Structure 1
Amino acid sequence: MAELIDQIMPRASNPTAGSAVVAAVNDDGTVSITVAGSAVTATCMEYYTDRAVGDVVFVIPVRGGYVVQGRFG
């Protein structure tokens, strides 16, 4: 089953650090990001306060998901 998941969502199921694009800002403080064409919900660091759709952000993998470190300048 893992092989099928890797074919459908290779970056989401095997996360690596890198960039992503914010697709939505959620009411609970998370953002939806696009990683290799897949939508993934990510937690944000407290200091990334001015979240906006279209932001190009740096993300790191944590426990099978992503944490947004902040927006690229």
Structure 2
Amino acid sequence: MSELIDQIMPRSSNPTAGSAVVAAVNADGTVDITVAGAAVTAACMEAYTDRAIGDVVFVIPVRGGYVVQGRFG
């Protein structure tokens, strides 16, 4: 049953704090991240500099999306 729920309402539409992987760095300062298998565009805090594909980052939910706090060390 959970598979059907994930198809109807992917986990990316019900965000929780945690980690994600950067899939793309966009020219407007956002990044595309992968969360629970779903691709989502996320805003970034200014402190997250030198953004790169493959970074494992900490994200928090904001208004149905995510904000990247920074890269895990």
CA distance in 2, matches of 1:49, 1:11: 27
TM-score, normalization by structure 1: 0.88
Percent of aligned pairs sharing the same letter: 86
How far did 1:10 drift?
A: 3.0
Provide, for residues 51-73 of structure 1, a one-character-per-residue CA deviation record: whole Å limited to 9, x for no partner. 00000000000001000000000
The runs of 5 or more residues in structure 2 that have no matched partner are: none
CA deviation string 1:8-32 (max 9, x = no partner): 2532111000000000000000000
Runs of 4+ in structure 1 deviating by more than 4 angstroms, as ranges, are none
Question: Over aligned residue pairs, what C-alpha RMSD do you find?
Answer: 1.3
Normalising by the residue count of structure 2, what TM-score does the alignment of the two structures yield?
A: 0.88
**Structure 1, gaps ≥5 residues long:** none
